[in-house]
């Protein structure tokens, strides 16, 4: 039997989802077909790890909560079978697109760390780690989106980001999953049956050869809302000392520009972002005191094809607080 070494996260009595230190795999032949979702296998969690119920008679199902397991697919399933785990999710999805149900839809899995949301949601775990982008895949997104779409149609849940949320968006959440590497744009495109973006590129402040900034820009890991390992900061000043993001743009076309940054009251309330568009530089100012830890839309612009510095974060602002340079994403629209 293969040996798995899994990270364990702290769990509460109401179920903040965790993966335990496990050394077992699902044994061949124990999985059966799910009665709730035809495309899933059924491997039940221990009855000690969820609350039996009769949803939707007892509680409405209003939300889907997306998690990252901090562990493997089979290890997560087996941890839910451990009577001492005190945690569970309704479904687990693998990098390769396999789906296993571990708690019936009618029952209350302990996954959200918030009892109200536990009673009103279905939790979906995805194998992988929040700080490693190599675990997410097109197969995972497609399989999970097929499941979410099925559940939304079955229970009348709107297919939008107000009702399909990350664990980090549950009120009172202390966890950050599914993490900054979870691509909500691609995932929601699959959920809504539309075509995912034909081209998309993310440049982080740590992306080799794609980010440049002077020594005046410091490096910080202070806020957990950051994208990736760290982010850059600088004092505002009326000088030309921008942090630049270089993109290899495939064609002259229209692209949506988004930025990801941590938000704190001490960060700048009017940070300038400069887009090097086909018709000249265009800028937009945003407050980095709000909307942290998520992709923030800066607008759509026409960029020329080529490999060049296309977006900058400028220090030239009358705003107060540190100017933050973290990650920028371009998506062809």
Per-residue pLDDT in tens (0 to 9) along the chain, 333 residues: 222 223 333 333 334 443 332 323 333 334 568 889 988 999 999 999 999 999 999 999 999 999 999 999 999 999 999 999 999 999 999 999 999 999 999 999 999 999 999 999 999 999 999 988 889 988 899 999 999 999 999 999 999 999 999 999 999 999 999 998 899 988 999 999 877 667 889 999 999 899 999 999 999 999 989 988 899 999 999 999 999 999 999 999 999 999 999 999 999 999 999 999 999 999 999 999 999 988 899 999 999 999 999 999 999 999 999 999 999 999 888
Query: In the prediction, which pLDDT does 4 show?
Result: 28
- With a CB cutoff of 8 Å and minimum separation 6, the contacts of 303 are 247, 249, 252, 253, 255, 275, 276, 277, 278, 310, 330
Q: Which pLDDT tens digit goes with each residue over 173-225? A: 999 999 988 999 889 999 998 776 678 899 999 998 999 999 999 999 999 89
> How do beta strands 63-66 and 121-126 pair?
parallel
> What is the distance between the alpha carbons of residues 258 and 285, in angstroms, rounded to a whole number?
13
> How do beta strands 41-42 and 99-101 pair?
parallel
Query: In the prediction, which pLDDT does 31 show?
Result: 52
Cis status of the peptide bond prior to 56, with omega within 30 of 0: yes
Query: In the prediction, which pLDDT does 22 show?
Result: 30
Query: In the prediction, which pLDDT does 133 show?
Result: 86
Q: What is the DSSP string of 72-116?
A: -HHHHHHHHT-TT-----SEEE-TTS-EEE-S-TTSEES-BS-HH
Supply the DSSP symbol for 188: H
CB burial readout 74-98, b (16+ within 10 A) else e: bbbbbbbbbeebbbbbbbbbbbebb
Query: In the prediction, which pLDDT does 148 show?
Result: 97
Token digits of residue 305: 């094809």
- Domains, the chain, in order of start with CATH, read 32-191 (3.40.80.10), 200-332 (2.60.120.260)
Query: In the prediction, which pLDDT does 214 show?
Result: 98
> What is the distance between the alpha carbons of residues 232 and 249, in angstroms, rounded to a whole number?
24
> What is the distance between the alpha carbons of residues 260 and 274, in angstroms, rounded to a whole number?
15
> Is 106 exposed, middle or buried (CB count within 10 Å of its CB: 0-12, 13-18, 19+)?
middle
Closest to 264 in 3D by CA, of 199, 216, 323: 323
Q: Are 264 and 320 in contact (CB under 8 A)?
A: no
Cis status of the peptide bond prior to 273, with omega within 30 of 0: no
Supply the DSSP symbol for 172: T
């Amino acid at each position: 039997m293969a040996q798995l070494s899994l990270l364990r996260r702290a769990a509460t009595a109401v179920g903040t989802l965790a993966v335990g230190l496990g050394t077992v795999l699902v044994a061949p032949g124990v999985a059966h077909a799910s009665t709730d979702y035809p495309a899933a296998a059924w491997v039940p969690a221990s009855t000690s790890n969820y609350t039996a119920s009769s949803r939707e008679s007892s509680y409405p199902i209003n939300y889907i909560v997306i998690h990252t397991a901090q562990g493997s697919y089979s290890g997560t399933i087996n941890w839910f079978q451990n009577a001492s785990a005190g945690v569970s999710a309704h479904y687990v999805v693998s990098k390769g697109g396999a789906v296993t149900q571990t708690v019936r839809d009618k029952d209350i899995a302990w996954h959200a760390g918030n009892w109200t949301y536990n009673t009103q949601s279905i939790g979906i775990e995805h194998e992988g780690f929040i700080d490693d982008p190599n675990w997410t895949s097109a197969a995972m997104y497609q399989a999970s989106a097929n499941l979410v779409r099925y559940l939304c149609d079955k229970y009348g849940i709107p297919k939008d980001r107000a009702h399909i949320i990350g664990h980090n968006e549950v009120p009172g959440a202390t966890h950050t999953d599914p993490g900054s590497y979870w691509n909500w744009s691609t995932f929601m495109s699959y959920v809504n049956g539309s075509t995912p973006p034909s081209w998309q590129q993310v440049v982080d402040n740590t992306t080799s050869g794609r980010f440049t900034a002077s020594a005046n820009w410091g490096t910080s890991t202070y806020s957990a809302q950051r994208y990736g390992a760290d982010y850059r900061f600088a004092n505002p000043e009326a000088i030309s000392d921008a942090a630049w993001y270089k993109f290899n743009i495939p064609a002259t076309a229209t692209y949506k520009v988004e930025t990801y940054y941590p938000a704190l009251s001490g960060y700048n309330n009017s940070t300038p972002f400069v887009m090097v568009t086909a018709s000249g530089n265009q800028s937009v100012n945003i407050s980095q005191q709000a909307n942290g830890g998520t992709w923030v839309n800066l607008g759509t612009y026409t960029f020329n094809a080529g490999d060049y510095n296309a977006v900058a974060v400028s220090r030239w602002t009358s705003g107060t607080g540190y100017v933050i340079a973290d990650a920028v994403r371009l998506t062809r629209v």
